[in-house]
């Protein structure tokens, strides 16, 4: 049984990390979709660096929840038959125990030097233009995928979806592409599809939808899978 799990902001919501769609989903009056762009970074790098510095700082105050932990348990049992891809840039899947997490939109706790192209584990702020540990240049940006940029691991994600028997989307609104198209690739491949969401979006035509908070629906689904 080959399983692909796609997660979004909803899987981390109960850990205290805001989702993009919350009524107050704005950041300092900015629509995050506008801050998370190369154009915004070129126009006002301090604004964008502060946006990510604040989100990186919040990570130290939150913990993985029962959904993250349950997915790590599923990985233990399924091994390579589980492919976990996330749109989230937090590290709660790893802190929940998952070993193989594909961050298609990058990671908050990493910095990318645009001079020497090296990536560095990073927990501190970047607004102060710290020097790159490798080349010394003050050209590090958050290692995240902005709108208009190519997501990571697209080849292995598409291969995993084409090979899967079950595709499960957890806590995602299905509004950002190419992630929002994955369910259609899975359906086209004849896989079973399941959505776990607090308020399933009508857009998605999953074969099965389970409504509820991820900390309840994910452990219950994993229990079923293991049984
Ligand atoms: C690209 C990192 C080319 C930075 C992010 C086709 C059509 C239209 C537009 C496009 C298209 N193709 C490309 C585009 C443009 C664009 C796009 O999709 N625009 C949208 C706005 C229309 N896409 C891109 O630019 C992408 N790049 O396409 O390159 C390409 C493509 C393929 C192959 C090669 C090249 C790059 C997009 C990546 C942008 N970076 N994040 C950062 O985080 O700051 S996107 C970011 O927003 C997240 O990563 C995530 O992807 C998205 C937010 O969505 P969700 O995670 O789903 O969160 P949301 O708040 O929306 O929803 C939360 C859900 O959880 C809800 O459903 C809610 O009900 C549920 N929930 C809440 N609480 C709980 C819960 N569920 C369970 N339990 C709970 N407790």
Q: What's the mean pLDDT in 60-73? A: 98
**Other residues' Cβ atoms within 10 Å of the Cβ of residue 170:** 23
pLDDT at 44: 94
Q: What is the pLDDT of residues 87-110, one digit of tens each?
A: 999 999 999 999 999 999 999 999
pTM for the model: 0.96
Q: What's the mean pLDDT in 192-212? A: 86
pLDDT at 199: 86
Could you tell me if 151 and 180 are in contact, meaning their C-beta atoms sit under 8 angstroms apart?
A: no
Q: Rounded CA gap, 85 and 131, in Å? A: 31
Comparing 3-17, 53-67, 134-148, 203-217, the range with the smallest average pLDDT is: 203-217
Given a cut of 60, whether residue 21 has pLDDT beyond it is: no
Q: What is the pLDDT of residues 111-161, one digit of tens each?
A: 999 999 999 999 999 999 999 999 999 999 999 999 999 999 999 999 999
Q: What's the mean pLDDT in 31-60? A: 92
pLDDT at 32: 73
Q: Is the CB of 36 under 6 A from ligand 1?
A: yes
Q: What's the mean pLDDT in 39-54? A: 94
Averaged confidence pLDDT in the chain: 93
Q: Is 30 a catalytic residue?
A: no
pLDDT at 207: 85
pLDDT at 149: 97
Q: Whose CA is nearest to atom 72 of ligand 1?
A: 10
pLDDT at 29: 65
Q: Is the CB of 172 under 6 A from ligand 1?
A: yes
DSSP structure string for 124-139: S--TT-PPPTTT--S-
Choosing from 77, 105, 120, 152, which is the catalytic residue? Answer: 105
Ligand 1 pocket mutation, candidates 147, 153, 180, 217, criterion most atoms within 8 A of CB: 147
Q: What's the mean pLDDT in 2-19? A: 93
Ligand 1 pocket mutation, candidates 5, 7, 9, 157, criterion most atoms within 8 A of CB: 9
């Amino acid at each position: 049984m080959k399983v692909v799990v796609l997660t979004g902001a909803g899987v981390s919501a109960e850990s205290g990390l805001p989702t993009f769609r919350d009524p107050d989903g704005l950041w300092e009056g900015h629509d995050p979709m506008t801050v998370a762009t190369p154009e915004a970074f070129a126009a006002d790098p301090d604004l964008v660096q502060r946006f990510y510095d604040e989100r990186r700082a919040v990570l130290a105050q939150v913990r993985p929840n029962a959904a993250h932990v349950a997915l790590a348990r599923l990985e233990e049992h399924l091994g390579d038959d589980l492919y976990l891809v996330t749109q989230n840039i937090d590290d709660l899947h790893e802190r929940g125990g998952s070993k193989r997490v594909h961050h298609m939109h990058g990671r908050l706790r990493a910095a990318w030097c645009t001079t020497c192209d090296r990536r560095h584990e990073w927990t501190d702020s970047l607004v102060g233009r710290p020097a790159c540990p490798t080349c010394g240049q003050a050209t590090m940006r958050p290692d995240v995928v902005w709108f208009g940029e190519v997501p990571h691991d697209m080849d292995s994600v598409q291969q995993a979806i084409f090979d899967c028997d079950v595709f499960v989307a957890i806590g995602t609104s299905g509004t950002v592409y190419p992630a929002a198209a994955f369910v259609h690739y899975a359906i086209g491949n004849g896989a079973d599809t399941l959505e776990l969401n607090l308020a399933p979006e009508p857009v998605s035509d999953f074969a099965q939808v389970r409504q509820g908070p991820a900390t309840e629906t994910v452990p219950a689904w994993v229990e079923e899978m293991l049984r």
